[in-house]
Amino acid sequence: MSPRIRFRQLVDGSPLIAPSMLKCDFGNLHREVELLEAAGVRLLHLDVMDAHFVPNLSYGPMVIERMRQLTDLPFDAHLMISEPERYLDDYVSAGCDAITIHVEAVPEPSALLCRIREAGVASGLAINPGTPVEQITPFLPDCDLVLVMSVEPGFGGQKFIPSALEKLAQLKQLVSPETILSVDGGIDVATIGPCAQSGANLFVAGSSIFEAPDYREAAVQLSESASAAASSTI
């Protein structure tokens, strides 16, 4: 089974809670992965930053490759980097199941999104808070995943930007039913419900999981809040 198919099969109607590994304890990475697996999460979100496209530096394919040796969980890689086309093969080889690029870094992303799919990986396109939905509309058919940033990318622990809700609602009307609609930034038990009501089904959570005393309890609370909110719109 290709990574793309494996990733797309995650969408089963229930909320997908994706812990953002940016907030984990990298000094004890093996233990963190074990705790997340025990918490029942179904995928991990990998924030890749280059200190150029965003004002922060995180990790790259070598760390992801080592992480892949620790778990079979699907990897959702979010490339907040300039010129992602130069490094795409490295992230495919490292074991990513989905790779998301930014339209702000690649204004004409169709060719790169198709290249991601051709590598057997799910293709994702992200937009920053200041980017209108119309800027990515022509490229939606090439996307397995669309990511709405609800904070300015670059740092964890930021406050949720409410305008993301309108973007999610717009995109929900534009994407195919099979497209994963993701939101990243400031996701907690207070904000995840409105995001679910607006159409999101994948929720990237950093502080709300890694700063909780019990990862399983935190993930369950997030999932239940999203499920309750989504069902209330039916």
Per-residue pLDDT tens over the stretch 144-173: 999 999 999 876 667 899 999 999 999 999
Check: CB of residue 121 under 8 Å from CB of residue 4: yes
Q: Is 234 helix (H, G, I), strand (E, B) or coil?
A: coil
**Which helix (H) or strand (E) covers residue 93, if one does?**
helix 88-94
- Total domains present in the chain: 1
Measured at the CA of 154, the angle between CA 148 and CA 156, to 5 degrees, comes to 85
pLDDT at 36: 97
Q: Give the model's confidence band at 136: pLDDT under 50 very low, under 70 low, under 90 confident, else very high.
A: very high
Catalytic position from the list 47, 50, 76, 144: 47
CA dihedral 91, 179, 185, 167 (to 10 degrees): 130
Residue 47 bears catalytic tag: yes
Catalytic position from the list 50, 76, 144, 184: 184
Structural domain boundaries, residue 109? 3-232
pLDDT at 78: 97
Residue 173 sits in a domain whose CATH number is: 3.20.20.70
Whether the pTM exceeds 0.75: the reply is: yes
Residue 25 bears catalytic tag: no
Taking the chain, what is the end-to-end CA distance rounded to the nearest angstrom? 33
Q: Give the model's confidence band at 8: pLDDT under 50 very low, under 70 low, under 90 confident, else very high.
A: confident
